[in-house]
């Protein structure tokens, strides 16, 4: 029985390995810094203690978790050249990858509902979206996603793996692992596909329904300034949602031997790396409140530095 897998998506060239190591490390640091900074801004600035930014902070925490599933292992393999990953380590990558991906989609759905209430029912917004309800919806996203991920992972663990153990990817993902099973996986593949389609349909229809009501309400706003403000709060969320969906579809909607090895790796990288890096950038650039909070935080840091330097000069 297979006790470990070999990740063959990495190059044999020492020079390219070092290049990959630097690239993966840089990507990981950018994602961590961007998301941690966004969490810090939301936590420090009292003006951002609203449901919208509560969910945004949760999204940043989720992005940190999501990119940490695959990139640290890729950094380690690129640096050491040791491509092996234990069977249970591989299953853990699959479980956590599905969990965090599902939570992100569920959280984006909740964020669409939040925008729907804020724009369509502004007078009742703080009553409907109270702290208890926001916390319950966030917790519900995690619980449902963990159960969904556990079922998929168990669906793979019960399969027999007797060799080969070569995964043509940078990390463990479902399509590559299913190819290595020593039994017929047609039923498992269909179950995963059906569940993915059902989940995707529910999420896409929920978000679409929310934005149909949102846009119809925005068009009724008489002032152009009010319309612009309403659109500006929705645009970052839509960009993040479409980015996540497009990269996911690009990765998993293509199958077959005709898919090039390089393209398969590139698609998986896009899906696991681009959203965690892009999400804080999109919200920082497109949201005026976040930009104001960032400037306020930077001014605080600079003023503390000035006071500290003046004190040190006075002591001298």
Domain range annotation of the chain: 4-306
Q: SS3 helix, strand, coil % of the chain, rounded to 5?
A: 80, 5, 15
Is the predicted pLDDT of residue 258 greater than 70, yes or no?
no
Q: Name the percent of the chain lying above pLDDT 90.
A: 36
Q: Look at 183 and 308; give whichever has higher pLDDT.
A: 183
First to last CA, the chain: 70
In the structure, what pLDDT confidence band is assigned to residue 46 with cuts at 50, 70 and 90? confident
Range from 5-19, 92-106, 199-213, 286-300 carrying the lowest mean pLDDT: 286-300
Long-range contacts of 100-103 (CB under 8 A, 24+ apart): 100/62, 100/65, 100/66, 100/69, 100/145, 101/66, 101/248, 102/144, 102/145, 102/148, 102/149, 102/199, 103/62, 103/141, 103/142, 103/145
Model's pTM, two decimal places? 0.87
- The CATH homologous superfamily to which domain 4-306 belongs is Rhodopsin 7-helix transmembrane proteins (1.20.1070.10)
The β-bridge relationship of strands 4-7 and 166-167 is parallel
pLDDT score of 65 more than 90: yes
For the residues 241-253, what does the mean pLDDT come to? 70
Q: What is the mean pLDDT of residues 112-127?
A: 91
Residue 283's alpha-carbon distances to 57, 93, 216, 240, in angstroms, are 11, 28, 24, 9
CB 169 within 8 A of CB 268: yes
Residue 288 CA to its chain's centroid (Å): 22
Residues 195-207, mean pLDDT to the nearest whole number: 88
What's the mean pLDDT in 170-196?
86
**Would you call 86 helix, strand, or coil by DSSP?**
strand
| Other Cβ atoms closer than 10 A to 141 | 22
CA 297 to chain centroid: 25
């Amino acid at each position: 029985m297979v006790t470990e897998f070999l990740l063959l998506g990495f190059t044999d060239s020492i020079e390219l390995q070092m290049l990959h190591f630097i690239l993966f490390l840089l990507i990981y640091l950018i994602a961590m810094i961007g998301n941690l900074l966004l969490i810090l801004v939301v936590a420090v600035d009292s003006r951002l203690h609203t449901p919208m930014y509560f969910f945004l902070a949760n999204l940043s925490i989720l992005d940190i978790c999501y990119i940490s599933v695959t990139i640290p292992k890729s950094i380690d393999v690129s640096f050491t050249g040791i491509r092996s990953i234990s069977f249970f380590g591989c299953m853990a990558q699959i479980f956590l990858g599905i969990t965090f991906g599902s939570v992100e989609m569920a959280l984006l759905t909740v964020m669409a509902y939040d925008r729907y209430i804020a724009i369509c029912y502004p007078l009742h917004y703080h009553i409907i979206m109270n702290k208890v309800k926001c916390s319950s919806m966030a917790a519900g996203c995690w619980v449902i996603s963990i159960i969904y991920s556990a079922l998929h992972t168990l669906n793979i663990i019960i399969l027999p793996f007797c060799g080969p153990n070569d995964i043509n990817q940078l990390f463990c993902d479902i399509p590559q692992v299913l190819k290595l099973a020593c039994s017929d996986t047609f039923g498992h593949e269909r179950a995963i596909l059906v569940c993915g389609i059902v989940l995707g349909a529910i999420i896409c229809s929920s978000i679409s329904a929310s934005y149909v009501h949102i846009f119809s309400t925005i068009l009724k706003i008489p002032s152009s300034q009010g319309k612009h403000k309403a659109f500006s709060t929705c645009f970052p969320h839509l960009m993040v949602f479409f980015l996540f969906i497009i990269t996911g579809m690009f990765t998993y909607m293509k199958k077959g031997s005709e898919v090039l090895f390089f393209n398969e790796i590139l698609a998986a990288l896009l899906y696991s790396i681009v959203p965690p890096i892009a999400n804080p950038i999109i919200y920082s650039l497109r949201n005026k409140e976040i930009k104001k909070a960032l400037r306020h935080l930077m001014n605080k840091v600079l003023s503390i530095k000035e006071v500290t330097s003046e004190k040190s000069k006075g002591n001298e």
